[in-house]
Structure 1
Amino acid sequence: MTCLNKVAMTPPSSDHKRPHTPSSFRFSSLNLVWFLVVPSTVFFLVSTLGPHRPSISPLSSLLQVSFSNNSLQGSSIFNGSSIDSSFQLEAETDYFVSNMPLPDAIIEKHTIQLDISKNNESESVVIVTSKIVKKNSKLERNEANLARVRSSIKQAALVRNLTSTHQDPDYVPHGPIYRNANAFHRSYLEMEKVFKIYVYKEGEPPIFHNGPCRSIYSSEGRFIHELEKGNFYTTEDPDEALVYFLPFSVVMLVQYLYEPETSNTNAIGRTVVDYIDVISGKYPYWNRSLGADHFMLSCHDWGPRTSSYVPHLFHKSVRVLCNANTSEGFNPSKDASFPEINLLTGEVEGLLGGPSPSHRSILAFFAGRLHGYIRYLLLNEWKDKRDPDVQVFDQLPKGVSYMSKLKNSRFCLCPSGYEVASPRIVEAIYAECVPVLISDNYVPPFSDVLNWKSFSIQIAVKDIPNIKKILMGVSQRQYLRMQRRVKQVQRHFVVNATPKRYDVFHMINHSIWLRRLNIHVRYQSWSILKARAGVSTCLKQ
């Protein structure tokens, strides 16, 4: 980019006075333009490229960018076949940085001398030009590194072996539970080397930097607390980060700000809006991508609703949600499904494992109160049948253990409640019982990586009356294969006091990592952005 910066005029070589002809008048007018316009231009350039002021750019709303409109049946980088969540690594979205701080640029000056002759008179014009040359910023280095990572994962995806070809001392992904074991393993190893998260420091507990660790919402609290510890993936240098975490807990927002007597949620919305205003005013990172490299996380049913108060948060940011309902705006190409885990004591001790398949006498089991339309259909159809094969209860008889029933069942029914997610999916996996998902519009956790059809049964809501027929149609050989795969996939859902490689904490991070790979944040010249705003500028390509 070049811009006129300084003009020096030398006196004419002849001493006699120039005649006042129209041409000389035009030339004098040109001189006037040099002296009046150029200083203003220089001032505009300096003020524009000066140190970035931490405020929301008025040009942000002009950046018309969007994610590729992937359908739910798109192809995946991990297997190239039709999948439910349709994460496409090659479908990248560019986000343009509309500002470049002066420290990230250097100025090259060039001097040009022009000799102008007119009516036997000569005049020399010396023009000093300045060219803005951008140095490699941390953002550009990050993006260059991510480009290398994308290429390596795509190459790994070409290998169709059921077992990863990469070496790993802890675990080598293998088998049909993965869409592409080799691509997943390559991606995971790259994540461990490259992925960095910056957790915004703003906000005070209990609403920020805090969450429940013992309840149906334990997934949310556990993840927040692990990031706050700073032992995995986090960085204190925001320029080094690839993604930025918005550390509010929706569970805590509801607990402290919701007004049940009036059903008023405005205070929740104002808190989220104010928080985005604070971090976008203090840091440049939200503005430069319109939030596309930021993420929120929620296991509360109101997670999607809470994000809707900030349009960019809803439409552009990564939302890690238990309530992964595509009919309510969940977008698998940018949002990530979050496993709902009910830890009453905060520990998984006693929850893992169960009898061998030969000692599981119950075909299918469910116990749970009326909670939403799908459960109503299930209870209405099966509760009063007292079928010994399909045991469905709204309340277990006294003295009957819920965990014992789970561990003695071949299939565990996991119907949605008022919202699509259910903690029974992870409960079934812990008990080594093949989960039966009964839901509409639900994207199961880690669907980018895991082939859910290999270790679970998915039954449409309309087929609830046919549950027994469908499950009886699964051969013994097929059931044994699925049950072995449930035991294998269990490692990806286990909660550990200190996270272990490939466990649920790392898998959630991997889901976020994949979404970051799907966008490209890059600088864009001021000339294009100003043109969009209808503002003229002296900057040129």
Structure 2
Amino acid sequence: MSTTTATSIFLFLFSLLLTTHSKPIPHLTSPYLSPATISANYDSMVKNFKIFIYKPNPHFTYDSPVQSLFYTALLDSDLATNNTDEAHLFFLPFPPDLPTRSIARLIRTIRTDLPYWNRTLGADHFYLSCSGVGYESDRNLVELKKNSIQISCFPTPPGQLIPHKDITLPPLASPHAPTSNTTTFLGYVRSNWVNDSAIVNELRANPEFLIESEPSTPQIYAQRLSSSKFCIFEYGDGDLSGIGEALRFGCVPVVITDRPIQDLPFMDVLRWQEMALFVGRRGGAKELERVLVRACWERHDQMRRLGTAAGQHLVWNVPPRALDAFHTLVYQLWLRRHTIRYVRRETV
């Protein structure tokens, strides 16, 4: 153990002796926000959820691998239905590079030729878009953006997510399985996780931290994930695609950010605040190390356990499996299904 870390641990223990009103860390056994209801809700979703998929014209492919995985899995699943009367939601696929005016024209055609959009002004529809849809004044685009559920890639571009309804696709995770559970490093930073971060640059001389300067092989990457207590990411400028892998490999994610994050995958399903740390830039490397050392004593084991349990939800399987990324994303759609039921007009 380095002298710096030993000093940090001593100061932390000393502060505990001086603290007389410290709050105990609650013992949590589940990574879910609603552990008492998720099982029953998930089973109900699997049995009952139906989605009507509009047929794109012409045929196209998504440019994001996770978007393609979701679309293919949805088309092949038992969720898809051709019976619009039993559909809870309607999926509107369109090319990722489709111009804004063309999207507006597509919505206009759907609302003119078919009755489904007008019943809720698009509130029971959803679409995939990594770049998001603009706030142009066209009525069709306004309804799509304001009412329909947007599924975007994580992280979502600034200003392109409405938290109460929109959701994000978890990034692709490494196919490698977790290896050793022996931790060697306090913190690990992969070469693409940060972008010239001053905090990370200060940590390069600290032997408790492994800071990559060049990309590692998948095997070495898996080993380093398993042998590190914390994995450090930077929100905004860095690459957060490894956050799901970090959870699965038992490396507690630490996200450097100066603002709240509203687009983490499955935010209304998982206890992200109990599985990851969110640290501001203002305190620099010393404050980051202090937070990590304190977390090691107070809550690392619980965070690691909860994160490992939640890791299954961020894995994309082909074909999909129960509770994996595809099914958890569909579960979020199920939670957002439109609850207003319209009386069908009786035919005479």
TM-score tier (shorter): 0.7 to 0.9
Q: Which residue identity is paired with 1:406?
A: L
Of residues 212, 222, 247, the one that matches 1:403 is 222
Aligned position for 1:506: 327
1:428 equivalent to 2:250? Answer no
1:341-384 Cα shifts (integer Å, max 9, x gaps)? 26xxxxx532x31321xx2111111123597xxx34xx223225
1:3-26 Cα shifts (integer Å, max 9, x gaps)? xxxxxxxxxxxxxxxxxxxxxxxx
1:159-183 Cα shifts (integer Å, max 9, x gaps)? xxx9xxxxxxxxxxx9331122112
Of residues 206, 210, 228, the one that matches 1:387 is 206
Alpha-carbon separation, structure 2, partners of 1:452 and 1:202: 36
1:367 equivalent to 2:203? Answer no
1:493 equivalent to 2:344? Answer no
1:468 equivalent to 2:289? Answer yes
Aligned position for 2:265: 445
1:220 equivalent to 2:220? Answer no
Pairs within 5 Å for 1:248-259: 248-250=94-96, 253=97
Of residues 179, 191, 208, the one that matches 1:354 is 179
Alpha-carbon separation, structure 1, partners of 2:189 and 2:227: 12
Q: Contact 2:231 / 2:254 at 8 angstroms: preserved in 1?
A: yes
Determine which structure has more spread, i.e. the larger CA radius of gyration. 1
Aligned position for 1:237: 83
1:290 equivalent to 2:121? Answer yes
- Given the two structures, how large is their TM-score scaled by the length of structure 2? 0.79
Distance 1:399 1:500, change over 3 A: closer
Q: Contact 2:252 / 2:276 at 8 angstroms: preserved in 1?
A: yes
Alpha-carbon separation, structure 1, partners of 2:136 and 2:250: 35
1:109-141 Cα shifts (integer Å, max 9, x gaps)? xxxxxxxxxxxxxxxxxxxxxxxxxxxxxxxxx
1:200 equivalent to 2:51? Answer no
Alpha-carbon separation, structure 2, partners of 1:400 and 1:233: 36
**Number of positions where the alignment pairs a residue of Structure 1 with one of Structure 2:** 313
Aligned position for 1:69: none
Aligned position for 2:342: 522
1:69-109 Cα shifts (integer Å, max 9, x gaps)? xxxxxxxxxxxxxxxxxxxxxxxxxxxxxxxxxxxxxxxxx
Q: Contact 1:370 / 1:394 at 8 angstroms: preserved in 2?
A: no
Alpha-carbon separation, structure 2, partners of 1:386 and 1:524: 69
Q: Which residue identity is paired with 1:367?
A: R
Alpha-carbon separation, structure 2, partners of 1:407 and 1:305: 41
Distance 1:360 1:475, change over 3 A: closer
How far does residue 503 in structure 1 lie from its aligned partner after superposition? 1.0
Q: Contact 1:272 / 1:306 at 8 angstroms: preserved in 2?
A: no
Alpha-carbon separation, structure 2, partners of 1:349 and 1:397: 15
1:413-433 Cα shifts (integer Å, max 9, x gaps)? 1222448x7212112123221
Distance 1:403 1:273, change over 3 A: same
1:455-514 Cα shifts (integer Å, max 9, x gaps)? 221223434532111101113462122212222111111211111111111100011111
How far does residue 305 in structure 1 lie from its aligned partner after superposition? 4.2
Q: Unpaired runs of 5+ in structure 1? A: 1-161, 163-173, 254-266, 343-347, 526-541
Alpha-carbon separation, structure 1, partners of 2:306 and 2:269: 14
- Given the two structures, how large is their TM-score scaled by the length of structure 1? 0.53
1:386-431 Cα shifts (integer Å, max 9, x gaps)? 2222333453589993333223211111222448x72121121232
- Output the aligned Cα RMSD: 3.1
Aligned position for 1:339: 170
Alpha-carbon separation, structure 2, partners of 1:471 and 1:524: 58
Distance 1:407 1:249, change over 3 A: farther
Look up the SS of the partner of 2:265 in the other structure. coil
Q: Contact 2:193 / 2:233 at 8 angstroms: preserved in 1?
A: no
Alpha-carbon separation, structure 2, partners of 1:474 and 1:202: 50
Aligned position for 1:481: 302
Q: Unpaired runs of 5+ in structure 2? A: 1-26
How far does residue 202 in structure 1 lie from its aligned partner after superposition? 3.0
Aligned position for 2:19: none
Identity across matched positions, percent: 26
Q: Contact 1:175 / 1:181 at 8 angstroms: preserved in 2?
A: no
Look up the SS of the partner of 1:333 in the other structure. coil
Q: Contact 1:406 / 1:433 at 8 angstroms: preserved in 2?
A: yes
Q: Which residue identity is paired with 1:187?
A: N
Alpha-carbon separation, structure 1, partners of 2:330 and 2:172: 16
Aligned position for 1:303: 132
Alpha-carbon separation, structure 1, partners of 2:90 and 2:310: 29
Alpha-carbon separation, structure 2, partners of 1:399 and 1:502: 25
Distance 1:399 1:522, change over 3 A: closer
Q: Contact 1:289 / 1:521 at 8 angstroms: preserved in 2?
A: no
Aligned position for 2:16: none
Distance 1:410 1:293, change over 3 A: same
Q: Contact 1:364 / 1:409 at 8 angstroms: preserved in 2?
A: yes
Alpha-carbon separation, structure 2, partners of 1:399 and 1:290: 46
